[in-house]
A and B are shown apart, each in its own frame.
Chain A
Amino acid sequence: MPGELSRAAAIVGAAEANEIGYPETPKTALQLHIEAIKNVSDQTGIPISRIDGIFSAGWSSQIAEHLGLHPRYIDTTSVGGCSFEMHVHHALAAIHAGIIDVALVTHGESGWSSRATGGRGTGRPRGSGDPWDPGSLFSNPYGISGAPSNYSHAMTRHNHRWGSTPEDFAHIAVVTRQWATLNPRAIMHSRDVHPQGGPITIEDVQTARLVSWPLTLLHCCLVTDHGGAVLIAKPEIARSLRTKPVWIAGAGESMSHSNMLEMEDFTATSAAASSAAAYRMAGMGPEDMEMAMVYDSFTVTAGITMEMLGLAPRGEGFRLWKDGHAAPGGRFPINTNGGGLSFNHSGMYGMQLLVEAYRQLSGTAEDGIHGLPGKQTKARSCIVNGTGGSLSTTGTLVLVAD
């Protein structure tokens, strides 16, 4: 039986910034936020002034002020790329409690532009620890340089424990690229968009430059700009709009650690717990899911996640891609936008998951600016799973079409 919060609110619109990926003129994160917010307001017909709850990964007061809003609910949960799935969870609860009617979940991140202008995210090592992360004093001295250098340890352990191989995981990169070739907004859509764009082979993935063995460059996500925004509303409002509602049937969140030093099992994440909560709220299970949008910071992230969501046996998540089920035309589409691997990844990718899940379940995937019909799936339910930090934090949503 579904929980009390199930379907207490719906996602009623999802939009992106005008220009994402590698903008010709560098953009600020705030600019990317505002473009997406304006677009989702236009899409749904909900005036920005009607937003009474604001949810962002760290900048809610600045964004609300920029919009001239005085919200009744302010959430700045910022625990990595899954923050946005958690925002949806929190917004659902706030709407159910009657505190707000319309929630804005917003994202803007100039992963590409800030690099181009020499800003943060350039991966320099620090010797001193972060006082908020005492463990960092004992990992920073050892040449770690960002997410790939950590996540590779999980792939090695998975290969050792479950007998998988890097080639097994390479199928995730190859199939995800197939989806990107159907999405003109994907950085890796084609050679016209990017010199390395277009279809790739297992050999391409395995012979690409090593970043952190066993991860080659093509096992790793992109670094781009992105802005995105979704509006969530109570049922009375959701049913009155020109856009189709996508119902939040279930939501859950969890974490296993913050510093990878505390990761007990390198082949498991807290998505087992967050998805259990989401399934319970929805009164549904893995067998009821028809597609998935899962964070693919690295191939290994996506593979392990499918195991955690109960959609593959332990040690065999990669098979959904290797056996072709996740591919265009397959029985269980995964990451239909082309993923963080080949569509867009700005640093925190959870918003991109939400936008695509909304588009697929509302039947508007083709309208993604210049979308092609081939990108549309027939799925009526979608499990969305964000993963943040160093395989640290997870937020899971069960979304269903109207």
Chain B
Amino acid sequence: MNIQRRTFVQWAAMAAATAAARSSSAREASSAGLPDVAARPDDGTRWDKAPCRFCGTGCHVQVGVKGGKVVAIAADQQAEVNRGLLCVKGYHVGLALYGKDRLRTPLLRKGEKYEPISWDKALDIIAERVEKGPKGFAIYGSGQWTIPEGYAAQKFIKGGLSCNHIDPNARLCMASAVTGFLATYGVDEPAGCYDDLDECNVLILWGNNPAEMHPILFSRVLDRRARGDEIEIIDIGTRRTRSTAHAQHYLEMRPQTDLAIANGIAHLLIESGRYDKQFVEKHCAFRADSDPPSLPGQAIDFETYRKSLAEYTPARVEEISGIPQTQLRMLADRFADRKRRITSLWCMGMNQHTRGTAINTLVHGIHLLSGHFGRPGDAPTSLTGQPSACGTAREVGTLAHLLPGGRLVANADHRKQAEEIWNLPAGRVFDKPGYHTVAMWEKFCTPTKSGGDIHTIWVQVTNPGQTLPNRNKLFLASRSESDKFLIVSDVYPTATTRLADLILPSSMWVEKNGMFGNSERRTQQWFKQVDPPGDARDDCWQIIAAARRLYDRGFEGMKDKDGKFLFDVRAEDGKSIPVWNWKSYYDTNVDRHLFEEYRQFSRLKHKDLAPYDEYVKARGLRWPVVQQPDGSWRETRFRFSEFDDPYVEKGKEFDFYHSTTKDGRAQIWFRPYDAPPEMPDKEFPLWLCTGRVIEHWHTGTMTMRIEPLRRAMPTSYVEVHRDDAKQLGISDGEMVRIETRRGMLETRVWIDGRGAPPRGSIFVPFFDESQLINDLTLDAHDPFSKQPDFKKCAARIRRIAPASDAPASDGGQQATTSQPERG
């Protein structure tokens, strides 16, 4: 870079940093007329907005493009979510595009090798796999699909193949949050939003580590504290994390015992008469598990609820959870105090849980019982790990039991509505839910003759070869079944592509148009800004092109009831645009067409979306977005509260208008504590917990290719408590073997590292594909959400060699995992 250019870049950096330093609140940022980096003099860099590619926080960045490449990233001053700031991953997001090993051409497995093939041939192969048996063809996607991509994929499966076998990896990360919301309010997704973080006096982290996983949201809270606001942070967890360092109270519980703690709080509130009687009597009903268990459960009265809680005395809760009685009473006191505002945050800790639905409903229940609901700052809020887990997996309905806009495949009216919008013959949408993630992969791994009726899975935008629990059983086993075919669309080689039969190179992030929906119901839009490398193409195009190939081969499912193509796109003059031809794909904005069709689904559950062009102007809008008498579109920050939600009848104050009891009431559940399915014993005496680190995003396929992030955290490790290490005779940095009943892994020990597990407990992150911890994890899952528990199983550690014998260089970081060879 020459000197003049460097001077200019320095100027731009200072302008952005100064604006961010000044904008201590979004309202100040948007009203102060601060310089926007995009408004700088022209230096040949073109700037445009996009949401960050990584986590569910949904920060907006300004993307600087020069010479057809993304060369700079600035935090977006106009974005309410991040207010001119980004975390360590966010400012590196542009480099995620430029790993040297981007996939550039379709590849077909030939024995142990891959040979390049044309897209034309690849589409024929996909079509043949569908024709082999449409009901055995599944798509496994993710919360990183854009909204139009997910919409197209589920229309392909549900409207085209009539089989419903589509599920996203979001099943592994937030399915229990969905069932928790449904069981409590009758409709999915948080009532509050990030504004709660600006108003709360108490922030409770339920097994949550936002300092590393949602750093921009945590910064927002810490910044308030630095400005003199009094905010109490209470961290309830099984391991000390970076978030703990900022908490006034750390409550270390035994794994799974959050249910006992929640019940203990409710018990204390009721027995002391300090619950919010007025709120409860007016707006709530009580519920407990039915026999047989069902998501809606059965109604109970207050007295039954009270009696059910009776055993959760402070002494009993201490016995179960290890939380001292004084701390439990402290929590109950906070909830009893109506002057304070309490926000609860959770993510994987509560969701990746065999009782995930239960603990989600219990935390909602404490907020409802105490009346800490529906005022800014008073909110039970789940966060998502992926940028569009809400927008694509939940709202679009890429889960196996859903149709768009919160509809259910099992509901005849909902199927009829989908068939009408899609102009399909009656009965086209199949009435049984498809396989959820664990079942789908189980069927794929089971020999066909033994009932394994999924013969092909097409994976897009995710890496199940690294993330599925009990990987040997749920992923690798399929690779020795000769009639099972794995198609993978991705941007880099991964643990999944490595065992695929057909690999399709994809465009990523700003190499394509896109829309995401973040954790606070905010729908975001961006335009394509650079070209993808080689022959890489958009995932949405891949779906449409495969559908068209089937249509051209006479496959009836890809025709509507008038014989027109399922993804027919028309220009304003009514002429069909052949968007299935790559060269024509960007002749129109396919995202706009798909989104406008999808938008028709959004009103049933009051998740109203604005027209596409409104999102082009905004840094996202939180649904329901409702048109005002003057024609403008207004977003909603607080659902179910009269002061902000346009769907709450005037004078009602609160209205849970999708109530499962159809009386406007939310449900307060009783759910007992149950022991986890696998606990430490003599043979496997330790708890194993898995999770993430700040530097890497999920399986590291992008961030491990960003040199600064890779160097900052190059390999995985196991955190061990100092006393356990001493007892086992292992030292810091030493290679050890971790074993569970399902597999083993060799890795290095980190004592007093970033996180601090208590005695009897170890932690291993899952980002490192050279150390596949999911060979060891448990595939037991929640009965309602079907979400597996990655947070607890029984393990043991063995020494391999004394530290002095282990290689000291990077080579010593090599680790092994138990992987059967492909047959």
Asked if A and B are interacting partners, one says no
Residues of B in contact with A (beta carbons under 8 Å apart) = none
